[in-house]
Amino acid sequence: MWTEWMAIAGAGVWAGMINVIVGSGTLVTFPVLLLLGYPPLAANVSNSIGLLGGNLAGTFGYRRELGGNPRLLRRLLPSSIAGGITGAALLLALPAEAFAAIVPVLVVLGLVMVVAGPAVQRRAARRNGGVPRGGAHGKRLAAVTVATFVVGIYGGYFGAAQGILLVGMLGMLTAASLQSINAMKNLLVTGVNGIAAVVFVLVAWDAIDWIVVALIALGSAGGGVLGARFGRRLSPAALRAVIVVVGTVAVVNMLFV
């Protein structure tokens, strides 16, 4: 029993660090829970609630980088939360295999957007007379709002590599710096996971294993603090490299493990 609990808490620490810096911590904790014999629905629901501790710690750690785009965040956070409610409802209504085929495709798309983001931002800066804008305007603002809602649905349903998708999408559709985008990603993921947790508590109480929730919450909170301290020191190029490496490992894990 103690060995099992230590494994879950350790997975939570690692997932918390990955979620803050990149996203995709679910790909650490969820397989560990399945390996230990937890039913898929209970593992998914308990994991989502437990990782909220790491999300909160990471968002607090990146609080300085959140100040640059208040208007954009006021638009995106409600959209992300609405998507999270929809995704959580779908999780309780649809079979777990419904998104299985498309998840690797979405992660690869997110990685492509992460890599292509700087070039897109440079073109946008040239159109603005060489002065990059931190947020999004007009059609881009509408596009990023809709995209955030869609990613929120995915996050409420399963959430693995949700952060990678958000970083890629925000990098393509806004002119914010990568560290600012990472801070926004942490807040939006916290909103999705938070509202999904509320839905699960209200509707799927019997599927929640509260010991698992507590172990992952404690582990991911510690990992979130460590991840914020480390991630905020990375250069944009190094952060982008970490995202690509972790995302690639995530895709391989989903396809072949």
How much of the chain is helix, strand and coil, in % rounded to 5? 85, 0, 15
- For residue 237, what are the contacts with CB-CB under 8 A and spacing of at least 6? none
- pTM for the model stands at 0.81
Q: Which residue has the tokens 């979620």?
A: 19
Crossing angle of helices 40-50/26-35, nearest 10°?
A: 140
Tokens of 131: 């002065």
- For residue 102, what are the contacts with CB-CB under 8 A and spacing of at least 6? none
Q: Is 211 buried (19+), middle (13-18) or exposed (0-12) by CB count in 10 A?
A: middle
pLDDT in tens, 12-24: 998 888 888 877 7
Write b or e for each residue in 32-69: b if 16 or more Cβ atoms lie within 10 A of its Cβ, otherwise e. Answer: bbeeeebeebbbbbbbbbbbbbbbbbbbebbeebbebb
Q: 180, 14 in Cβ contact below 8 A? A: no
pLDDT in tens, 90-110: 888 877 566 556 667 766 776
* Residue 234 scores a pLDDT above 90: no
